């Protein structure tokens, strides 16, 4: 969710704060998770494809 929002220029500004609030987690915790995912080479497209495969 956060990686997808950050990848979209229209939603990127303030995305971490909005999503953290929606999920009920601290924004710095979410920011840390996003950075770890990015460091692992994950991006919004690979996560969406993985999620779609699990739901199918």
Where b means 16+ CB within 10 Å and e means fewer, 11-38 reads: eeeebbeebbeeeeeeeeebeeebeebe
Residue 43 — pLDDT band, cuts 50, 70, 90?
Answer: low
Domain total in the chain: 1
pLDDT tens track for 14-29: 999 999 999 999 999 9
Distance CA 30, CA 14 (A): 12
What integer pLDDT is reported at residue 5 of this predicted model? 85
Provide the whole-model pTM. Answer: 0.66
What range defines the domain where residue 18 resides?
A: 2-55
Question: Is the pLDDT assigned to residue 45 strictly greater than 60?
Answer: no
């Amino acid at each position: 969710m956060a990686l997808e929002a950050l990848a979209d220029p229209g939603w990127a500004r303030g995305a971490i704060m909005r999503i953290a609030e929606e999920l009920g987690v601290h924004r710095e915790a979410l920011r840390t998770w996003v950075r770890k995912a990015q460091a692992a080479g994950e991006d919004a497209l690979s996560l969406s494809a993985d999620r779609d495969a699990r739901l199918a």
